[in-house]
Structure 1
């Protein structure tokens, strides 16, 4: 698979089979991602992978905490305000996803259960948690974004599917304890990885993109 094919075929997979990932294959994906560029070659990413029984334990506790009404407190707070046009992009995507699933916007019960599926790590057999030192600046968040994209494209190349999701990192204390993540690291993002279920309704939802003339400005060519 060439890089353009990987870019165009990658999409957020929201339902996975239970088929486990071979450790050697996972290491190939991570090794490819490790070629990502970073500021002054600082290579700031710290990676923790969880699967099998430890992941099952985390899933269960995530859902238990959510159903008990325990507040979500991610290491990196969720943005509360979005300017336009980004706010509209988010709103229209969320509305389209709910409509695709047949969930009414005012149906709080079904929306909560849909969130439970996310907290269940989408049923993926493994989750890759990406972390950064708390001493690092915004520059390193950019680097981690490059690493994340490289990881997902490498996964696509090797026949794996991914789902980058902030929601599977909203109870960082639980993750930190289970995976022995040092206190000096922020847990930034979780990427569920595995084999998607092709016929699942969740995996048949595709987001749209703005046209190039909406955000590209060119002068001199």
Structure 2
């Protein structure tokens, strides 16, 4: 069970993520009067009247702190393999959720079509050519390189194929994998995840100005 302090932090985190996301959807659907964005009472009324739209929300509330906290915990306990798997999985989730937002808004795709597109693409596609087609922009080359390194290492762990280690050799696959992981800067994965989030946040602001307006309303009226 969570203590009260932890529950309060969770509730605040959900509130801080949900309200701007919901406001951005109301703006995108032209449900807020642009001349009344300083009127908190009016905005609260519109939110209350449109709570039934939560199931149709197109800009999602995503929080990856649990992944990152889990990674840091595994690193602190020298469980680097698990940390790499968590980091790679987090990156994959971030890209998938980005497309869950982008594809319906930009191309008016249905949820089934979105899921099919995401399911058919590999991670290099999601950070490469498909990202360019979707956003008409590119992720920084250095960031893409780091992401692909992390995913490659994650795949080596997840799809590990054991080769027996002989007493007089250093050729065992488990030992080789350990050497690769120990030579990799695993804590830097957290930095890469943050860099990816920043880049996607910037492109979201370019594609959907409503997100920036919603964040401004939230900071001014709901903090």
Normalization by structure 2: what TM-score?
0.26
The structure with more strand, counted as a fraction of residues: 1
Higher relative contact order (CA 8 A, sep 6+): 1
Normalization by structure 1: what TM-score?
0.26
When Rg is computed on C-alpha atoms for both structures, the one with the higher figure is 2
